[in-house]
Amino acid sequence: NPILLWFRKDLRLDDNHALQSAATSSRPLIPVYIREPGVTERGPLGGAQEWWLHYSLAALQIALDAVGSKLILRHGEALTVLEKLVKETGAEAVVWNRRYDPAGVEVDTQIKKALRSKGIEANSFAGQLLHEPTRLRTGTGNHYKTYTPFWRAFEQSGEPPFPIEAPRRLLAPGRWPQSDSLDAWSLLPAKPNWASEFADIWTPGEAAALDKLKDFVDGALNDYAIGRDFPDKPATSLLSPHLALGEISPARMWHATRGLPDKVGTDNVVRFRKEIIWREFCYHQLFHFPKLRTANWNDRYDDFPWLSDAKRLKSWQRGQTGYPIVDAGMRQLWRHGWMHNRVRMIAASFLIKDLLIDWREGEAWFRDTLVDADPAANTANWQWVAGSGADASPFFRIFNPVLQGEKFDPDGGYVRTFVPELSKLDSKYIHRPFEAPDDVLKRAGIELGRHYPRPIVDHAMARQRALAAHASLKDDG
Nearest approach, Cβ of 27 to ligand FAD (angstroms)?
34
Instruction: Tell me which of 83, 121, 341, 406 is the catalytic residue.
Output: 341
Cα–Cα distance measured from residue 246 to residue 254, given in angstroms and rounded to the nearest whole number = 14
Sheet-wide strand order for 29-35: 72-75, 29-35, 3-7, 93-97, 121-125
Residues 350-389 that bind ligand FAD (CB under 6 A): 366, 370, 372-374, 377-378, 381-382, 385
Residues forming beta bridges with residue 97, ordered by sequence position: 125
Is 355 annotated to bind a ligand? Reply is no
| 408 within 8 A of 231, measured Cβ to Cβ | yes
* Position 244 contacts ligand FAD (CB under 6 A): yes
Is 224 annotated to bind a ligand? Reply is yes
In the annotation, is 278 catalytic?
yes
CA 184 vs CA 38, 323, 368: distances in Å: 18, 42, 21
Which residue number, 338 or 429, has a Cβ lying nearer to ligand FAD? 338
Nearest approach, Cβ of 160 to ligand FAD (angstroms)?
14
Instruction: Tell me which of 278, 334, 365, 384 is the catalytic residue.
Output: 278
Q: Kindly write down the DSSP assignment for every residue of 15-40, as one continuous string.
A: T-HHHHHHHTTTS-EEEEEEE-HHHH
* Position 40 contacts ligand FAD (CB under 6 A): no
Instruction: Tell me which of 176, 185, 194, 306 is the catalytic residue.
Output: 306
Which residue number, 91 or 377, has a Cβ lying nearer to ligand FAD? 377
Which residue number, 182 or 377, has a Cβ lying nearer to ligand FAD? 377
For the CA atoms of 427, 430, 435, 438, the dihedral, rounded to the nearest 10 degrees, stands at: 70
* Selection from 280, 304, 348 nearest residue 473 by Cα: 304
Size of the site for ligand FAD (CB under 6 A): 27
In the annotation, is 359 catalytic?
yes
In the annotation, is 382 catalytic?
yes
Note every long-range contact of 330-333, with CB atoms under 8 Å and residues 24 or more positions apart, other chains counting.
331/418, 331/419, 332/417, 332/418, 333/366, 333/369, 333/370
> One-letter amino acid identity for 113?
K
Is 373 annotated to bind a ligand? Reply is yes
Instruction: Tell me which of 51, 52, 382, 384 is the catalytic residue.
Output: 382
* Position 348 contacts ligand FAD (CB under 6 A): yes
* Position 45 contacts ligand FAD (CB under 6 A): no
Nearest approach, Cβ of 426 to ligand FAD (angstroms)?
30
Is 66 annotated to bind a ligand? Reply is no
Residues 257-286 that bind ligand FAD (CB under 6 A): 275-276, 278-279, 282
Cα–Cα distance measured from residue 37 to residue 31, given in angstroms and rounded to the nearest whole number = 19
Cα–Cα distance measured from residue 396 to residue 291, given in angstroms and rounded to the nearest whole number = 25
* Position 240 contacts ligand FAD (CB under 6 A): yes
Is 260 annotated to bind a ligand? Reply is no
* Selection from 394, 390, 378, 323 nearest residue 355 by Cα: 323
Cα–Cα distance measured from residue 347 to residue 332, given in angstroms and rounded to the nearest whole number = 11
Annotated binding residues for FAD, as ranges?
224, 236-240, 272, 372-374
Instruction: List, by residue number, the catalytic residues.
Output: 275, 278, 306, 341, 359, 382
Annotated binding residues, as ranges?
224, 236-240, 272, 372-374
What does the binding site for ligand FAD look like in residue numbers (CB under 6 A)?
Answer: 228, 236-240, 243-244, 275-276, 278-279, 282, 341, 344-345, 348, 366, 370, 372-374, 377-378, 381-382, 385
